[in-house]
Amino acid sequence: MSDVIKLAHGDGGKFTNELIKNLFYRHFRNRKLEEGIDAATFSVNEGRMAFTTDSFVVKPIFFYGGDIGKLAVCGSINDLAVSGAKPLYLSASFIIEEGFPIDKLEAIVRSMGDTCTRAGVNIITGDTKVVEKGSVDGIFINTSGVGIIESNYKMKTIESGDQIIVTGTIGEHGTAIAIQRYDIKVKGNFKSDCNPLNGITENIQDLYPYIKIMKDPTRGGLVTILNELAELAGLGVRLIEEKIPVSREVKAMNEMLGLDPLYMACEGRMVLVVNKLYAEKVLNRIRSLEGCKDANIIGNFDQEASLKVYIENYLGGKRILNTLEGAMLPRIC
């Protein structure tokens, strides 16, 4: 096999097949994929299914705590998980620049395979296109996903008083990308939070009657999601600054860069809106789960605040958090 991707790897012929067998089958490893037919097939029981898609253009493609492959697998898993679905199958579609190193491609594909194994999902169908040098920036990956809504999860109407839970420290993915994009030399444990969320959702299904909405705060971070929910609910949101879990490093780095962790993408956190009577119960369960020890109740919906999202600090100071007009950082996912 050549050590870089050639146009012929994308022509659907001999080289494409070589790539599929030597790379994709080896790392994604499952019978449905290896059947190699135009569409993969699977059995379903009567019920409801969920279907989602995301394209990933993250830059750089390898970052602290992950890479475009892990991110692509987590992205579609997480969209399914926050919709109350059990992720079952993913597709993976690659657009690769001519000349892209095959060892890098293999690292990405291996990372996708590992993340799938950890999350209990399978990539069962795929596609590979190769474009001429200069027609794409390295590699872009699309994943789509299907899942089954086994649970009793339904989005419910948000009411004043409903509590907001976040499952861990925020802003870590966006900050990791920013550091590497701006090529900042820092010490400290900067790492994307990129992770599959179905490990959380599968362990809180009995609490779904108390959970009104689940969301993953990706592009635009926590504030963007909360502004969307405020608009949806016709209510305001009151956040309590010291309750929001942010690591010291992330806080300091964002101050230095003139950025705000509240707007930075997370790729492995979830925001939950919970009936206030059960918020502590839900929080305790979440804190008991892997990677969620920093989960916290960070605020509540509030009819007094009339559609605004605001944050209060311990001195009683208030600050309105509007949706930004432009991205803080493009290509974070």
Could you say which residues in the range 225-264 bind its own copies, by CB under 8 A? none
Q: Which is nearer to its own copies, 167 or 247 (CB)?
A: 167
- Taking residues 68 to 97 in sequence order and writing x for each that binds its own copies by CB under 8 A, - otherwise, the string is ----------xxx-xx-x---x-xxxxx--
Near its own copies in 143-182, by CB under 8 A: 144-147, 149, 155
- For CA atoms 135, 139, 140, 144, the dihedral sign is positive
User: In angstroms, rounded to a whole number, what is the distance separating the alpha carbons of residues 175 and 250?
Assistant: 7
Which of 29, 110, 118, 129 touches its own copies by CB under 8 A? 129
Question: In 3D, which of 244, 150, 165, 130 has the Cα closest to residue 202?
Answer: 150
What is the C-alpha to C-alpha distance for residues 227 and 307, in angstroms, rounded to an integer? 8
Binding residues among 200-229 for its own copies as defined by CB under 8 A:
215-216, 218-220, 224
CB of 330 to its own copies, least distance (A): 5
By CB under 8 A, which span of 180-188, 234-242, 305-313, 318-326 interacts with its own copies? Answer: 318-326
Size of the residue set binding its own copies (CB under 8 A): 75
Residue from the set 19, 20, 50, 200 that interacts with its own copies by CB under 8 A: 50
Q: By three-state DSSP, how is residue 140 classified?
A: strand
> Rounded to whole angstroms, what are the CA distances from 182 to 75, 156, 179, 329?
24, 41, 5, 11
- Alpha-carbon gap, residue 47 to 41, rounded angstroms: 17
* Cα separation, 167 vs 327, whole angstroms: 24
Interface pick for its own copies out of 68, 105, 119, 124 (rule CB under 8 A): 124
Binding segment for its own copies among 240-248, 272-280, 307-315, 321-329 (CB under 8 A)?
A: 321-329
Q: Helix axis angle, 102-119 relative to 68-81, nearest 10°?
A: 30
**With CB under 8 A as the contact rule, which of the stretches 10-18, 20-28, 104-112, 168-176 interacts with its own copies?**
10-18
Lookup: tokens for 252: 């300091």
- Terminus-to-terminus CA distance in the chain, angstroms? 30
CB closer to its own copies out of 17 and 313: 17
The least CB distance from residue 311 to its own copies, in Å, is: 18
